[in-house]
């Protein structure tokens, strides 16, 4: 029995959709469907009720999916048991919040491939809450998420990046106070239910600030373009906005106390990458720092 087929079943069971599972696994829909049909033939069992669209797991299918996760966890434990604590081998799934994937993923891949050539990572993106849920369900091995109280205590975290949040103002508001901005133009709020969004909302609460108008957007580049166009102002992590900032976006630090967003590498305690998470976190640092820590 192919372990990849069991992993596919586990993802389909988690998501509830062949289409979405194919997207997450970077597979075609036909490949996912064929794997599930092959598994049903091998087990001589109907795992899916195809009278529904999308097909739904039968009661037996749900039990098989639970056992599949147990088998996969046992296999991962077996592989981990035989590995040196300084060596990482195998195929792994790593998640990134979208903003971190743009900035941190390229360097991570370069360094981890040089240091651990036998480790292969499949990259997935999602919001912090989604990635943490996938870690808990076992469909991710490790993930870069926004740190804080939202990370369950059953997970270990290792620092990746410490970033200041800044005000982002359009050029015509360069000489305005933040109070003027609140009263005169829209506040462009990056998704309030995300890790960054919650930090931004907390800062607004601390300022006792109520913008006259709020626009909610789900992409940093969209926020930047709206600020650039003079639609409004925003708060974002400085490294994110600097990717888009030119002389048409004014960055202003938060005073008197800076507000920061911490990105952490999270994994479930006792999982297959638990013993190696610190090494992987070092792969986000410059190569000179990795060499010093090694």
pLDDT tens per residue, range 17-34: 898 888 877 788 889 999
User: In the prediction, which pLDDT does 79 show?
Assistant: 66
**Residue 287 has what pLDDT?**
40
Domains of the chain, earliest start first:
1-82 (1.10.10.10), 162-261 (3.40.190.10)
Give me the helix-helix angle, 3-15 and 18-25, nearest 10°.
Answer: 120
Whether the per-residue pLDDT at 104 is higher than 50: the answer is yes
- pLDDT the model gives residue 288: 36
pLDDT of residue 217: 93
Inform me whether the pLDDT recorded for 7 exceeds 80.
Answer: yes
* pLDDT score, position 81: 65
The Cα–Cα gap between 93 and 206 comes to 38
Report pLDDT digits (tens) over 190-233.
Answer: 988 888 888 888 888 888 878 889 999 988 889 999 999 999 99
pLDDT tens, position by position, 230-244: 999 999 998 888 887
SS3 of the chain: the string is CCHHHHHHHHHHHHHCCHHHHHHHHCCCHHHHHHHHHHHHHHHCCCCEECCCCCCEECHHHHHHHHHHHHHHHHHHHHHHHCCCCCCCCEEEEEEECHHHHHHHHHHHHHHHHHHCCCEEEEEEECCHHHHHHHHHHCCCCEEEEECCCCCCCCEEEEEEEEEEEEEEECHHHCCCCHHHHHHHCEEEEECCCCHHHHHHHHHHHHCCCCCCCEEEECCHHHHHHHHHCCCEEEEEEHHHHHCCCCCCCEEEECCCCCCEEEEEEEEECCCCCHHHHHHHHHCCCCHHHHHHHC
The more confidently predicted of residues 162 and 90 is: 162
pLDDT of residue 251: 92
Q: 82-97, pLDDT tens digit by residue?
A: 666 667 788 888 999 8
Q: What is the mean pLDDT of residues 263-289?
A: 79
Rounded CA Rg of the chain: 22
pTM: 0.70
Higher pLDDT, 169 or 289: 169
266 close to 157: Cβ distance less than 8 angstroms: yes
Q: How far is CA 220 from the centre of its chain?
A: 15
Bridge partners for 268 per DSSP: 155
pLDDT of residue 214: 93
């Amino acid at each position: 029995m192919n372990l990849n087929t069991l992993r596919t079943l586990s993802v389909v069971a988690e998501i509830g959709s062949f289409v979405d599972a194919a997207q997450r696994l970077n597979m075609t829909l036909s490949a996912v469907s064929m794997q599930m049909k092959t598994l049903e033939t091998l087990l001589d069992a109907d795992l899916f009720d195809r009278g529904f669209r999308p097909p739904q797991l039968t009661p037996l299918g749900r039990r098989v999916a639970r056992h599949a996760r147990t088998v996969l966890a046992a296999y991962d434990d077996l592989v981990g048991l035989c590995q040196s604590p300084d060596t990482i081998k195998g195929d792994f799934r790593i998640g990134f919040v979208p903003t971190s994937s743009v900035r941190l993923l390229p360097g991570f891949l370069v360094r981890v491939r040089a240091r651990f050539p036998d480790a292969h990572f499949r990259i997935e993106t999602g919001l912090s809450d989604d990635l943490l849920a996938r870690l808990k369900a076992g469909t991710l091995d490790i993930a870069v998420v926004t740190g804080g109280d939202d990370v369950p205590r059953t997970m270990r975290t290792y620092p990746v990046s410490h970033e200041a949040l800044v005000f982002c103002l359009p050029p015509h508001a360069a000489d305005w106070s933040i109070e003027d901005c609140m009263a005169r133009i829209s506040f462009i709020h990056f998704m309030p239910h995300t890790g960054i969004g919650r930090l931004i909302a907390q800062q607004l609460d601390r300022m006792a600030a109520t913008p006259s108008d709020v626009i909610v957007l789900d992409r940093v580049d969209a926020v930047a373009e709206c600020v650039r166009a003079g639609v409004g102002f925003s708060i974002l992590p400085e490294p994110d906005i600097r990717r888009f900032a030119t002389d048409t976006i004014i960055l202003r630090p938060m005073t008197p106390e800076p507000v920061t967003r911490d990105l952490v590498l999270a994994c479930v305690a006792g999982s297959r990458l638990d013993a190696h998470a610190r090494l992987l976190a070092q792969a986000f640092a410059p190569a000179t720092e990795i060499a010093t820590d090694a």
